[in-house]
Structure 1
């Protein structure tokens, strides 16, 4: 298959691009996301794709969307940040554009982009975790995306790591996302600042603010990279949680490579080193098993778009059969 379109649907922006078989993006466009409107979001997706189709011979469209996507890659069962509930998005967009359309979970799409063209293009077994405001993840095993029986496997951020811990947006308590995400980083940074910590007050000064409520994840990351001790400690603590969670995940999936992406990964070694140390410390049977390699994602914000476009070239999974 030749050119396809990848569409990355975010909470505020819809990014679209024409992608060739080598993962190279040609023309691009974008639209604002009307997050509170099912019809408006579908229309914006179709408008962006139609603009690109008008200038290129495109054979299929892949859409990456945050949420649970059915195993046939057509229906968004649930989206936490958009108004989709059992939304037949694939069929709806395909009917408008008159072209095949597949829908994929956004973390799966980003992971596939890294697997096919980025940091994991040389392996067959990969675990990818994206550390942003929340935590997304995906698993590729033996060259195939792990989707599970219903299409909603590998929600890595919602593995429980602290029984009875912080309440998560998914409704549970103690999910990894509540301890190793950008949201957790900000929560802990603000708590330290509000406690009257001198070190945290210095961090706020480095960030150019006085009110802890104004503190953001990128501010903490930038302060840490500038050497602020409090910010460094916050990122190292987040890395410890991440590494311990990844050790548990590695025992389940046995990856060759663990790829870490997302906005918080901008901290690079400040995050990676503490994650690797914690991983090595708690990995079960660590002296008697091969250890995966850690690496940072390579494709940045384009991973989801590129991955969705490439997944549009691939046949839908075989439906689950009972026996």
Structure 2
């Protein structure tokens, strides 16, 4: 019997029927409503629609934000006006069946662990590099959620004391230095300085953004400004992974999100910074690094699997 996975984003809700092997049988997408109550209604409509054509065993919902230890209440969400929102109960009342609620980065990490780049690895860390940095930790085959339910927020470790302000209310968080937004900031700084930034400046749009396709072309041509921008972000990420290694000792780091599209251009400098940041560098085992394989479907697939397992 299949599960439904729902991934609630800031601009869209993606839902799909997911088989036990992680394959998506049918998928739907709608725009995310502005009001929380309308959002719960939209999820319920999507589940009922899918249930008309498929036999559904369970429902999982992934959402950005801090979720309490009972996996019932959204304590705080960055993109939706949720503060201590009893989302699980609201959805169950509308859907009429049990709902599993999970943080979206955790769901994506679990999806990669079960069906993606992390298959066969019992201890892994996933970092999703998008607007911010999402984190997920699997230890001995179990998803780490912490005593209060909000563990694994790796993008919000204090990377630089007194550093750039972060949307979480702190300063110097990793996501200010190793995210897609951070990469565009480095690109803008290098382009504005001239010199090696000339190639970047030539392809910036009206907002000062370098489109992904142009960035890929510059990297393929070994443009020095593009390479330097990636090196800065990759170095921050690699150094942070060295710190994560000291605490969590994963066998594998899985890198996802839009920045991961850079592939080996990103991973090579990440590995260099990681290895030289390790305690006991040169004498201890090192982790492998891999690019995530499930793309934007990882959260949907992961939360559907969690719903099936939590039953």
TM range (shorter): over 0.9
For 2:50, the equivalent position in structure 1 comes to 52
Ranges in structure 2 where 5+ consecutive residues have no aligned partner: none
Distance 2:211 2:189 in 1: 13
CA apart distance, 1:100: 1.0
- The answer to whether the 8 Å contact 1:32/1:44 transfers is no
Task: Verify: 1:272 aligned to 2:267, yes or no.
Answer: yes
Structure 1 residue 84: Cα displacement: 1.1
For residue 160 of structure 1, give the secondary structure of its aligned residue in structure 2: coil
CA distance in structure 2 between the partners assigned to 1:32 and 1:315 by the alignment: 28
Cα distance change, pair 44–218 in 1 and its aligned pair in 2 (3 A): farther
In structure 2, C-alpha distance between the alignment counterparts of 1:159 and 1:307, rounded to whole Å: 24
Match of 2:166 in 1: 168
| Alignment pair present for 1:186 and 2:184 | yes
Task: Report the 3-state secondary structure (helix = DSSP H, G, I; strand = E; otherwise coil) of the residue aligned with 1:286.
Answer: coil
Supply the distance in 1 between the matched residues of 2:206 and 2:219 (Cα, whole angstroms).
Answer: 18
Match for residue 299 of structure 1 among 282, 294, 301: 294
The alpha-carbon distance between structure 1 residues 277 and 46, as it changes in their structure 2 partners (threshold 3 A), is same
Deviation at 1:71, TM superposition (A): 1.4
Q: Are the equivalent residues in 2 in contact too, given 1:65–1:106 (CA < 8 A)?
A: yes
TM-score by length of structure 1 reads 0.92
Shift of 1:191: 2.2
User: 2: distance between equivalents of 1:179 and 1:111?
Assistant: 21
Q: CA deviation at 1:49?
A: 1.3
How far apart are residue 201 of structure 1 and its match? 3.0
1:70-149 correspondence runs (5 A):
70-149=68-147
Q: Distance in 1 between matches of 2:141 and 2:17?
A: 24
Distance 1:44 1:225 in 2: 43
Is 2:197 the counterpart of 1:200? Answer: yes
Q: Separation in 2 of the partners of 1:210 and 1:129? A: 28
| Aligned mates of 1:87, 1:220 — CA distance in 2 | 40
Task: Report the CA distance between 1:288 and its aligned residue.
Answer: 3.2
Alignment match, 1:65: 63
* More displaced stretch, 99-108 vs 66-75: 66-75
Aligned length: 311
Distance in 2 (CA, whole Å) between partners of 1:257 and 1:237 is 22
TM-score normalised to the size of structure 2?
0.96
CA distance in structure 2 between the partners assigned to 1:82 and 1:109 by the alignment: 18
| Alignment RMSD | 1.6
Q: Is the contact between residue 224 and residue 232 of structure 1 (CA under 8 Å) also seen in structure 2?
A: yes
> For residues 30 and 199 of structure 1, do their structure 2 counterparts lie closer, same or farther at Cα, with a shift above 3 Å needed?
same
Partner of 1:241: 236
- Work out the CA distance in 2 between the residues paired with 1:126 and 1:210: 37
Distance 1:155 1:218 in 2: 30
Q: State yes or no: 1:17 paired with 2:12.
A: no
Corresponding residue number in structure 2 for 1:224: 219
Q: Shift of residue 204 of structure 1?
A: 2.9
Structure 2 partner of 1:5: 4
Distance 1:250 1:214 in 2: 33
Q: What's the offset of the Cα at 1:260?
A: 0.7
- Give deviations 1:223-262, integer Å, cap 9, x for gaps: 3244322112101111111000000001110111111111
**Alpha-carbon distance change, 190 to 149 in structure 1, aligned in 2, over 3 angstroms:** same
Q: CA deviation at 1:203?
A: 1.6
User: Are the structure 2 counterparts of residues 214 and 267 from structure 1 closer, same or farther at C-alpha, using a change threshold of 3 Å?
Assistant: closer
**1:259 aligns to what?**
254
Distance 1:240 1:50 in 2: 46
